[in-house]
């Protein structure tokens, strides 16, 4: 491409968007061999509506930063950047600045729904090459609540292997497994083709945030979910006050709200079973929803989340009553542990109710094809196929 290239597009409504840019850049040595340039590598950077992405180091210049394409790192290979920005309705401008002759392959624009970005990086192709940036999520005035990544890697013939690294705002996630490369979370000689999941609530406030995935060899990266937010305050166990949008919650926080709202006065076993109903509904992949948030926020499914419920304030601010702080912390820990698998799911339950309804009435109205499972404290649990 030329030294500058402008791309203009419009959006019909304001919101968070992801701009996917795929490009390649060659090293100075590759350019010398092709007589494209003498001792100059290819570089490419982008500005969105006049704003560029600064380097984490604070150094000046737009080339050779986390959000740019650098030929000496890529050596002709592809790098895919997902730029996550809030756009006002109307015309938008991407300005690409380059040196050398980088290759801009594609531009995609997608509106982010329900604060979640979900992508299969393998759909953008996997190439074999030495340590280089490969697939990056870069936010501008947008926060990141949590990150979920699923990948695998195999050993290669010879001394090297296939590896994948994750960096969060420049900090490399360590691999503590024996014989693993320290800063490669997915290490081929350890995994030997097995899947490994990275899942973390990162709680990064709106601003410039960089999630980078570096590849060595050709690892297989097949799922990436990033939960984003525009809120300056991300609810936490110590400060769970509702922001006004439950999609600002991490999975742990919103699941803890359900447990707290429905079973805070019940035993630990009952709390775990309430959490399990959400997990089981998500796994069923029916109209109940495909994510923890969708399941919980489905209209009229969890009474404490109903807007007209007298106890709604309890889930909006679980610490409104200081005497219930220990109950809230227990609910949060149960939510966290069942999502991570530290607590094994003990049941296939999908529904429950309290004594205000009879079992016969509940089964007739809500689970006619279902099965009663167990009564724990004041809660009755059932399984239903839908």
User: Which residue's entry shows tokens 């420049």?
Assistant: 170
> Torsion over CA of 232, 238, 244 and 246, rounded to 10 degrees?
100
pLDDT digits (tens, 9 = 90+) for 111-160: 999 999 999 999 999 899 999 999 999 999 999 999 999 999 998 766 67
pLDDT digits (tens, 9 = 90+) for 268-286: 999 999 999 999 999 998 8
Residue 274's contacts (CB-CB under 8 Å, 6 or more residues apart) are 258, 259, 262, 263, 266, 352, 379
Question: Could you tell me the pTM of the whole model?
Answer: 0.85
User: Which residue's entry shows tokens 């399990």?
Assistant: 276
Task: State the average pLDDT over residues 161-173.
Answer: 96
Alpha-carbon gap, residue 81 to 72, rounded angstroms: 17
Q: How many angstroms from the chain centroid is the CA of residue 310?
A: 33
Q: What is the pLDDT of residue 27?
A: 81
In percent, the amount of the chain with pLDDT more than 70 equals 96
Alpha-carbon gap, residue 322 to 222, rounded angstroms: 44
pLDDT digits (tens, 9 = 90+) for 27-63: 855 555 455 555 578 999 999 999 999 999 999 888 9
């Amino acid at each position: 491409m030329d030294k500058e290239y402008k791309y203009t597009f419009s959006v019909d409504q304001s919101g968070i968007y992801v701009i996917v840019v795929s490009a390649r850049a060659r090293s100075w040595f590759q350019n010398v061999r092709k007589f494209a340039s003498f001792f100059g590598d290819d570089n490419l950077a982008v500005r969105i509506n006049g704003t560029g992405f600064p380097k984490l180091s604070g150094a000046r210049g737009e080339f050779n930063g986390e959000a740019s394409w650098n030929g000496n790192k890529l050596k002709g290979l592809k790098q895919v950047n997902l730029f996550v920005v809030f756009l006002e309705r109307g015309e938008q401008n991407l300005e690409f600045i380059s040196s050398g002759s980088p290759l801009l392959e594609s531009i995609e624009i997608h509106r982010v729904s329900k604060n979640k970005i979900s992508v299969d990086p393998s759909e953008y192709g996997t190439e074999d090459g030495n340590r280089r940036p490969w697939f990056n999520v870069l936010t501008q005035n947008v926060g990141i609540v949590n990150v979920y990544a699923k990948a695998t890697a195999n050993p290669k013939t010879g001394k090297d292997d296939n590896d994948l690294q994750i960096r969060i705002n420049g900090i490399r996630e360590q691999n503590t497994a024996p014989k693993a490369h320290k800063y490669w979370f997915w290490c081929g000689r350890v995994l030997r083709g097995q899947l490994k999941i990275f899942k973390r609530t990162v709680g990064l406030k709106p601003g410039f945030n960089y999630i980078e995935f570096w590849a060595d060899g050709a690892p297989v990266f097949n799922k990436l979910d990033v939960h984003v937010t525009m809120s300056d305050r991300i609810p936490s166990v110590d400060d769970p006050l509702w922001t006004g949008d439950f999609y600002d919650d991490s999975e742990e926080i919103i699941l803890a709200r359900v447990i707290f709202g429905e079973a805070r006065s019940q035993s630990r076993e009952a709390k775990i079973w309430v959490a399990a109903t959400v997990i089981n509904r998500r796994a069923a992949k029916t109209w109940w929803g495909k994510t923890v948030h969708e399941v919980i926020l489905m209209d009229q499914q969890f009474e404490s989340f109903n807007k007209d419920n007298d106890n709604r304030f309890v889930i909006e601010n679980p610490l409104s009553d200081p005497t219930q702080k220990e109950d809230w912390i227990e609910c949060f820990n149960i939510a966290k542990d069942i999502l991570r698998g530290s607590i094994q799911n003990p049941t296939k339950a999908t529904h429950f109710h309290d004594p205000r309804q009879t079992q016969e009435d509940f089964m007739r109205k809500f689970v006619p094809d279902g099965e009663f499972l167990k009564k724990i404290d004041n809660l009755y649990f059932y399984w239903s196929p839908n």
